Amino acid sequence: MLTSIDLFAGCGGLTRGLEWAGFECLAFNELNKDAADTFALNFPNAIRLDGDIKEAVSKKVIQEKIKPLIEAKGGLDLLCGGPPCQGFSNIGHRRTHKLEKREIPTNHLFHEMIRVIKELKPKIFLFENVEGILSGKWDKKEGVKGEIFRDVWKSFSSIRGYTAQPTLLHAYGFGVPQNRPRVMIMGIRNDILKKSNLKPVKFDPSRDNTTFSSQIKNNGGFFPTWNENEIDAPDLIDVLSDLDFTGWSSEKPFYKKKARTDFQKFLRENNITNEKGKEILTDHEFSKHKEHVVKRFKFMLDNNITKKSDLPVDMQTKKFNQKPVPAKWKIKPTITVTSLPDDYVHYSNPRTFSVREWARIQTFPDCHQFSGPRTTGGSRRAGNPTEGNWSRDVPKYTQIGNAVPPLLGKAIGERVKQILPKI
């Protein structure tokens, strides 16, 4: 079995996908306790390194805990990490009270990942982040579009002993029912690369100072590719039709319906059972919407409302992007799972999605359990950077919204497996 370590691990979306591909996670680092609890709940054999990466994965910890474990397992195949992306995404940056991105401490954590790479020297490393990093600039007035990614790329591509390649992958190209692009940088240790006869696709950051999307999208090389003319992402009804709506604020611990599609059957494999062998359905409880909210949702569904301006004035709210999602895609997925459950209205019920439904759309299997509160809001969600408060609550919806879709992680893991056996 191949080995991995996950930094900035969140609730374990990438590691779940790597597990499907045949990887064993040896250790993980996560700052937030709720997300770390979720990860540990699902991967109990991985060493838990809670807290700020500077301390949790210090040189001393690496020498005393991590390296002996790696040596016992015969080496480290993959070190992966997705440093917090709030400051690289447009939505996330809005919640930082308009601070310049250079001032946001989390935007510089990729340097800590590089430090760990240099210490552990894995065969392959993988950095992942949001598409917004490609066009982001450090300063709104004086910055240049693309400068953040140029700096990130320079840092990772300069790691001695490695050859790196960036890419932009779209989750729907790998069976994920979402419009969810992810930027990745993969570095292969040169001794491994030499034996593999694999060549990276060249990337020239000086070519474009606006966006690098067209240059690196679906570019192959180190990464898996997909056919953009044959998108095979399941429709939402194929993902969720076996999950009943059981009423407001109600939780039914068992499935009432059998899996109806191959996608549902896949996500229900190895599910949690009770002492009688009956499958338990977790995290499928519903928000108790107020009567006027239900009325608005029903109006949106009945009239296919997708813009706030199309709602009657008395139904309009400050919510800028709330819209129903279709049961079936016309061409490709239109939903992006976020940290906010009320961004979307269910395709057939006047309500938001349950945590389990949210996790399904992200391609988490039903056996993946989540720890912590269901949701939260206000300053607890965003912190208050202007007052030096960078802490954020990471409830279940947020954990899911921040995650790498496991099916995308599986595709990455399978590609790494293709590279390493050639050695």
The residue behind tokens 């992958």 is 169
The two three-digit tokens of residue 96, written as one number? 């930082």
> 324-344 burial string, b = 16+ CB within 10 Å, else e?
bbeeebeeebbbebbbbbbbb
The two three-digit tokens of residue 186, written as one number? 């993969």
Task: Name, in order, each residue with C-beta under 8 angstroms of 115's C-beta and a sequence gap of 6 or more.
Answer: none
* Paired strand residues for 157: none
- How far is Cα 361 from Cα 173, in angstroms, rounded to an integer? 14
Q: To 10 degrees, the CA torsion angle through 299, 305, 308, 311?
A: -40
- How far is Cα 320 from Cα 58, in angstroms, rounded to an integer? 42
Q: Which of 11, 25, 80, 85 is catalytic?
A: 85
Q: What are the two backbone dihedrals, phi and then psi, of residue 78, each rounded to the nearest 5 degrees?
A: -145, 130
- The distance of Cα 94 from the centroid of its chain, to the nearest Å, equals 19
Helices (H), 44-164: 53-56, 59-61, 67-73, 90-94, 110-120, 147-157
Nearest CA among 207, 188, 204 for reference residue 196: 188
Measured from the Cβ of residue 415, the count of other Cβ atoms closer than 10 Å reads 17
Angle, helices 110-120/147-157, rounded to nearest 10 degrees: 10
- How far is Cα 198 from Cα 420, in angstroms, rounded to an integer? 11
Nearest CA among 399, 354, 400, 395 for reference residue 252: 354
- How far is Cα 79 from Cα 77, in angstroms, rounded to an integer? 7
The two three-digit tokens of residue 163, written as one number? 């050859």
Task: Name, in order, each residue with C-beta under 8 angstroms of 71's C-beta and a sequence gap of 6 or more.
Answer: none
- How far is Cα 183 from Cα 217, in angstroms, rounded to an integer? 9
On whether the CB atoms of residues 80 and 4 are closer than 8 A, the answer is yes
Q: Active site includes 85?
A: yes
The two three-digit tokens of residue 224, written as one number? 């898996």
| Active site amino acids | 85
